[in-house]
Amino acid sequence: MQFRFLAACAALLLTTPGMAQDETDEYLRLATTLTDDALSEQSFEIAIQIGFKGVLEADEEMVALETECPGLISTMAEAARPVMWELHQRDNLDYRTALHKLFARRLSREEAAGGAGFFASPLGKRFVYTLQLGISADNVIADVVSNEDMSISRGSLERDTRTSALRGILALSPEDRKELTRLFSSEDWARAFSRIQPEVTALQHKLVNQDYPPEDHARIDASVQPATIAHFEKCDDR
């Protein structure tokens, strides 16, 4: 099952070999700001609610089982949580590394520094926070449920990303929206972000279609199956 797509959606905007470390500090600071611990924890909770439970709740067979034995999906999600958190942390580091390389390749140091400064600011943090809270995954979930290989199309990802961005912007105060409009129309780093957006989307699309290896699926199954059996047994005893 694909669980990675929210990690990419949640950071909507988000070293070249041979480069000295001091020349990549701003790129790393930008990538780290967009994948810090607080955002990682929030995106994980969203992934559990939408990326795990949401996918199961969109599956007809699971809906029938949930009707027969209420609480099943929540039980499965909670049982998977410890393993999923470990995998989520690993994925977050992978995403940070990929962003770092992309920023170092396509942004100037000044542009990276400007972006890092914005996303570390109170307004930048509110912006990303509201983007995460307003995440839309309807099209992505539809792909996961309907496609035999559970693949996600770029079109579905882009539609959900646009909806998420709109929700996030509308959730901000009028003052914040006015300031964002000013920043994104006048700042060099903001124009640079717009320029590389297709490459960010391509990176996100690649990440959301990467599935976990068999050993990780086995660990998830080993956590979920005993809890599922126990839950059904409780239903049978009622």
How many domains in the chain? Answer: 1
Lookup: tokens for 101:
């390389």
Q: For residue 203, give its domain range.
A: 5-237
Q: Give, in order, the Cα–Cα distances in Å from 21 to each of 15, 27, 28, 132, 225.
A: 8, 10, 10, 31, 46
Q: Give, in order, the Cα–Cα distances in Å from 237 to each of 134, 194, 227, 230.
A: 40, 58, 15, 11
- Yes or no: say if 111 and 164 are a contact pair by the CB < 8 Å rule: no
Angle (nearest 5°) at CA 207 between 4 and 108: 125
Single-letter residue type at 187: E
Residue whose C-alpha is closest to residue 45's, from 1, 2, 7: 7
Give Rg (Cα) of the chain. 19
Q: Cβ contacts of residue 58 below 8 Å, gap of 6+?
A: 141, 142, 144, 145
In tens, the pLDDT along 36-70 reads 888 788 888 888 888 889 889 988 999 999 999 99
In tens, the pLDDT along 147-188 reads 888 899 999 988 988 888 888 888 899 999 999 889 888 999
Which pLDDT belongs to residue 19? 35
pLDDT exceeds 60 at position 6: no
Residue 221 pLDDT level (bands cut at 50, 70, 90)? very high
Distance CA 186, CA 207 (A): 31
- Yes or no: say if 187 and 108 are a contact pair by the CB < 8 Å rule: no
Which pTM value belongs to this model? 0.79
What average pLDDT score do residues 206-219 get?
88
In tens, the pLDDT along 15-33 reads 333 333 344 489 999 999 8
What average pLDDT score do residues 115-144 get?
88
